[in-house]
Chains A and B, each alone.
Chain A
Amino acid sequence: MKNNDKITMGHGGGGQLTSELLNSTIFVKLANEHLDKADDGAVLDCPFGQLCFTTDSYVIDPIFFPGGDIGKLAVCGTVNDLAVMGAIPRWLSLSLIISEGLSFTSLNRIIDSIAAATKEANVQIVTGDTKVIESYNSKEEIYINTAGIGFFVHEKKPDIKAIVPGDKIIINGPIADHGIAIMCVRESLGFETKIKSDAGALNSLVKEVMDAELDIRFMRDATRGGLAMLLVDIAEATNLGIEINENAIPINASTRHAAELLGLDPLTTANEGKCVFVVSAEDADRTLEICRSHPLGQKSKIIGTVTGNNKVEMITDIGGRRIITRPLGKELPRIC
């Protein structure tokens, strides 16, 4: 098969193909000390201290889904990227690219949702832009970009290089709800599900954990590419390994069943309100306690341990072992 000179949907899936696209085009051509870190946000030195800066675009279809909409996502996603860098999110920009034909009713609904999310996350939209583009179909479409700035109040910043074997991996609740909820709506599966996206702002949860001055080595929100992608990223960046227990990973039963039906792996399915904490073994229980006392962390679990062997491995429910790899591109539903 010839190599095609075209971007495919797989390049936007957040997996191996996305990494390849970034590495072969963006990172080599635009390299600098901040971009090279490929973190969720950049930590920038300013004359008066440090700032954290990030940006993200939201192109989700459908724009409304159980548990949220593109507006809520656009606020929470950017807030979360700042929060997991250890920053306090403060100001956001808002760029709307509206496809002609979007109803004012939908736009109002999205902006109301943005207003509610900013209030909840205690951030402000301080600048913005609006463009309208031609539409070639009758679908309601809107794309949103938000950039965000946060500042630091905690002395210690999470650092992936601080991770050592023996550290514990904690997640703040059930995985895969967002990706599966979207799939169920997008593909109008014809069966009723109660699965709701977990879209939510994690900054207050993260702040409570940070305030406790525990030995938090690293944090990241598990979004596209799912928990699997995040764990493999950590293992690669640290040259360490991770062993996770399948039966410790929280997942809602309805999400698990829908994923089975669709032939999708919950581990590689997207989340929008899940944070993974890598914590020293000594502080793991205390971190878990703080997470569980927060509304967004009641189902938090310790799901694994950092090891020295360079692989991400899973002890499966029935006691088997297998390797966890990075998803390739966009996961597609199977035949049957």
Chain B
Amino acid sequence: MTMANQTTEHIKELCKGPETINIMEVCGTHTVSIMRNGIRSLLPDSIRLISGPGCPVCVTTQGYIDAAIDLARRENIMLCTYGDMMKVPGKDISLDQQRANGADIQVIYSALDAIKFAQQNPQKEIVFAAVGFETTTPITAAAILQARELGLKNFTILAGHKLAIPVIELVAQGDAVIDAFLCPGHVSVIIGSDAYIDIATKYRKPCVVASFEPQQILNAIAKTVEMIVNGQIGVHNEYKAAVTAKGNIHAQELTARVFDICDVNWRSIGLVKNSGLRLADEFSSFDAVTKFNLSDIEKDYSMGGCKCGQVIQGMMDPNQCPHFGNKCLPQSPLGPCMVSSEGTCAAWYKYHPLD
């Protein structure tokens, strides 16, 4: 019997009772891995996996996306972005289409690449669309510090970084039925497993940290079910190879040096207290919003009845959305969930769970 088989059998054994166990995988990478590895097909019907708000692009306000597309349209600007943003629909066009129209848009892997572009193109304004959770934020912070050291005057960021814990807490308080959280691997490397203790104890929902390896996800699900069945509350770290209790202190300090915590709007979710990061005053010259006089980046609206908000808060599965697979397709998306590589709807569409 393979290891996966043993784990699956163990889970089935634990799930003999009639209750449904609702586990939210917070992170988009978990959603993709679960779908890609067919993990749902291995679990008993009584386990319900719910995708959470962990795709950075999917929680970015429409106003931010429109602003990024608007910036790319302007003369003399090079917009640097992570690949995930390219296909996200704006109010009339996506970055991908904007690039076809001749805009200077570069897909990058690291904020530090944008610094290189700024050095190589002193006559151009380089704007980095800085989105992502705790994993990408320290790199943006490092880029800002480097830009200051190099004296770069042509580099700014469109600040859109968000924090994972406040939104997990929001979901824990919300209407969705969730018994436990499968916590993100990469984010936990930075914030540490202790970051989930408050949520676990306050809302009595076990939190289990796991990497994105399929066997480890299965192990984490088994552990979660075990904790629920035995009435254990707390945090369990399945990803000890990379995640410590306190996380990466250096990365945390880097972020704290450059950014201040603020309240921000989340796409389709609304204002979440202390869940966003804005540039600290000392670094305000790197803020694209001020430099290019942008307004409304916090503004949010949904297009054509997109129900991303309900999907990422665990209130609806993608295939329960009336637009999924007909009005909303990867080639003609209503919202980012359908096009981001970490988007719940995109993962469901690509890897259709077998009925």
> Is B301 at the interface (CB under 8 A from chain A)?
no
Which one, B35, B57, B100, contacts A9 given CB within 8 A? B100
Contact yes or no, A313 B214, CB < 8 A: no
> Is B309 at the interface (CB under 8 A from chain A)?
no
> Is B249 at the interface (CB under 8 A from chain A)?
no
Interface residues in B341-355 (C-beta closer than 8 Å to A): 341-342, 349-354
User: Whose C-beta in chain A lies nearest to the C-beta of B339?
Assistant: A328
> Is A265 at the interface (CB under 8 A from chain B)?
yes
Question: With a CB–CB cut-off of 8 A, which chain A residues contact B214?
Answer: 316-318, 320
**Contact flag A335-B37 (CB < 8 Å), given A317-B214, A322-B354:** no
Which one, B2, B38, B100, contacts A6 given CB within 8 A? B100
Chain A interface extent, by class? 35 or more
Contact yes or no, A318 B101, CB < 8 A: no
One digit per residue, 1 when the CB lies within 8 angstroms of any chain A CB and 0 when it does not, for chain B 161-191 equals: 0000000000000000000000000100000
User: Whose C-beta in chain B lies nearest to the C-beta of A187?
Assistant: B109
Interface residues in A297-336 (C-beta closer than 8 Å to B): 313-323, 325, 328-329, 331-336
Question: With a CB–CB cut-off of 8 A, which chain A residues contact B342?
Answer: 334-335
> Is B290 at the interface (CB under 8 A from chain A)?
no
Question: With a CB–CB cut-off of 8 A, which chain A residues contact B91?
Answer: 1
> Is B84 at the interface (CB under 8 A from chain A)?
yes
> Is B99 at the interface (CB under 8 A from chain A)?
yes
**Contact flag A316-B38 (CB < 8 Å), given A1-B93, A325-B350:** yes
One digit per residue, 1 when the CB lies within 8 angstroms of any chain B CB and 0 when it does not, for chain A 57-80 equals: 000000000000000000000000
> Is A31 at the interface (CB under 8 A from chain B)?
no
Interface residues in A11-35 (C-beta closer than 8 Å to B): 16-17, 20
Contact yes or no, B89 A1, CB < 8 A: yes
User: Whose C-beta in chain B lies nearest to the C-beta of A260?
Assistant: B212
Question: With a CB–CB cut-off of 8 A, which chain B residues contact A331?
Answer: 341
Interface contacts (Cβ under 8 Å), in number, total: 125
Q: In terms of DSSP, what is the predominant structure of the interface of chain A?
A: loop
Contact yes or no, A1 B35, CB < 8 A: no
Chain B interface extent, by class? 35 or more
Minimum CB–CB distance from B217 to chain A (whole Å) comes to: 9
Contact yes or no, B93 A320, CB < 8 A: no
Contact yes or no, B42 A334, CB < 8 A: no
Surface stretch bound by A, among B45-53, B130-138, B277-285:
B130-138
Interface residues in A185-217 (C-beta closer than 8 Å to B): 187, 189-190
> Is A10 at the interface (CB under 8 A from chain B)?
yes
Minimum CB–CB distance from A324 to chain B (whole Å) comes to: 9
> Is A128 at the interface (CB under 8 A from chain B)?
no
Contact yes or no, B36 A321, CB < 8 A: no
Which one, B56, B84, B101, B352, contacts A332 given CB within 8 A? B84
> Is A126 at the interface (CB under 8 A from chain B)?
no
Interface centre among A262, A323, A335 (most CB of B within 10 A): A335
Contact yes or no, A16 B331, CB < 8 A: yes
> Is A165 at the interface (CB under 8 A from chain B)?
no
Minimum CB–CB distance from A269 to chain B (whole Å) comes to: 14
Contact yes or no, A318 B354, CB < 8 A: no
**Contact flag A7-B100 (CB < 8 Å), given A20-B331, A318-B214, A320-B41:** yes
> Is A4 at the interface (CB under 8 A from chain B)?
yes
Interface centre among A6, A190, A265, A325 (most CB of B within 10 A): A6
Contact sample, A vs B, 8 pairs, CB 8 Å cutoff = A1-B89, A9-B99, A263-B341, A320-B214, A332-B83, A334-B340, A335-B57, A336-B135
Chain B residues proximal to chain A, CB less than 8 Å: 2, 4-5, 8, 35-42, 56-57, 82-84, 86-87, 89-94, 96-97, 99-101, 107, 109-110, 131-132, 135-136, 186, 214-215, 218, 303, 330-333, 340-342, 349-354
Chain A residues proximal to chain B, CB less than 8 Å: 1-4, 6-10, 16-17, 20, 187, 189-190, 262-263, 265, 313-323, 325, 328-329, 331-336
Other 8 A-B pairs with CB < 8 A, given A265-B36, A321-B38, A332-B84: A1-B303, A8-B97, A314-B38, A318-B42, A319-B5, A328-B331, A332-B83, A334-B82
